[in-house]
Amino acid sequence: MVDEALSAGAVARRLGVAVTTLRTWHQRYGLGPSEHIPGHHRRYTPADLARLEIMRRLTAEGVSPAEAARWARQAPDPTPNGSGTVGSARSHPTRRDGGGTIPVGRAGPAARGLARAAMRLDAAAISETIAHALAAGGVIATWEGLLRPVLAGIGERHAATAGLIEVEHLVSRSVSEALAAASRANVPTGPARILLSCADEEQHTLPLEALAAALAEAGVSYRMLGARVPVGALVEAVNRTGPAAVVLWSHTRATADPAQLSALLAAPRRPLLVLAAGPGWRADTLPAGVVRPVDLAEAVSLSAAVRDSLNQSRRD
């Protein structure tokens, strides 16, 4: 085995990748050399090389590194004592995805990789892909470039086939977990001046969870009431906590009763800003004084601005 083992430089040349890329694949995805002779640098065995070949091929095809690494790690050992063939057609991702696809429009390779992982119900790859994107690009870019296209694609496919409910639930849960982890990683200090809530009977919480994580990333404290908040409970929360802004999410017409917004405007501790967010609201039915953000970035910047103006007025 020692004779067959290769140095990092030799492996890099064979694969046509940089040695720094090999190092990244080792550190981030655990695809490192397994041969270790005391007193020498670690060496890559034929099995290591075969895994790296899968990694190189899949990343070249546009699969995200996290997903490619997962396939590479799962590949059986090709050596005579191993159990199978690494890199054969059997280990290609598209063979295990149930045969369908989630349309992601013009979104990039990471979204296509996430869509494929979702079709395979591959929870680990889904989580890894989302966590990697959050770490690399932050919440807003991950929402717009990765999560939103895949969620919209799942909705489209569901509308066309009435299927994919299991995919929708697994992806929703993975997105929630990843966004919660991102929020926990950036807990802002200072009083929570932004109240986030879903409209009554509204169960679509993911966009609000994205907003929570983006606010945390921007250092803005918030309080999250989550799904299905009856209007009485919402007004009670406003009166008890006196937020500068309330973001009320409605995803469908069925939950977009403008009376909820009017109740906020009439609350004894009326917030400075009431945001009606989500595709459920109809612009022509919103009470005067309610603002409708166009996207996540605008919801973050409006919330941050109103928090700053309240803090400023309290200092003056």
In the beta sheet, which residues pair with residue 246?
195, 274
Give the nearer residue to ligand B12 in terms of CB position, either 18 or 254.
Answer: 254
Give the nearer residue to ligand B12 in terms of CB position, either 5 or 215.
Answer: 215
Instruction: From 103, 100, 49, 95, select the one nearest 72 (Cα to Cα).
Output: 49
For the chain, the farthest-separated pair of C-alpha atoms sits apart, in whole angstroms, at 80
**Shortest gap between Cβ of 276 and ligand B12 (angstroms)?**
9
Give the nearer residue to ligand B12 in terms of CB position, either 143 or 222.
Answer: 143
Measure the CA–CA gap between 38 and 48, rounded to whole angstroms. 19
Q: Are 237 and 195 in contact (CB under 8 A)?
A: yes
Give the nearer residue to ligand B12 in terms of CB position, either 17 or 179.
Answer: 179
Burial class (CB in 10 A: 0-12, 13-18, 19+), 243: buried
**Shortest gap between Cβ of 241 and ligand B12 (angstroms)?**
19
Give the nearer residue to ligand B12 in terms of CB position, either 89 or 162.
Answer: 162
Give the nearer residue to ligand B12 in terms of CB position, either 46 or 280.
Answer: 280
Measure the CA–CA gap between 272 and 50, rounded to whole angstroms. 60
**Shortest gap between Cβ of 312 and ligand B12 (angstroms)?**
24
**Shortest gap between Cβ of 103 and ligand B12 (angstroms)?**
11
**Shortest gap between Cβ of 178 and ligand B12 (angstroms)?**
13
As a dihedral over the C-alpha atoms of residue 202, residue 217, residue 117, residue 87, rounded to 10 degrees, the angle is 180
Nearest-CB residue for ligand B12? 155
The answer for residues whose C-beta is within 8 angstroms of residue 305's C-beta and 6 or more apart is none
* Interface residue list for ligand B12 (CB under 6 A): 143, 148, 151-152, 154-155, 158-159, 168-169, 172, 176, 201-207, 210-211, 251-253, 255, 277-279, 293-296, 299
Which tokens go with 281?
A: 């609201």
**Shortest gap between Cβ of 250 and ligand B12 (angstroms)?**
9
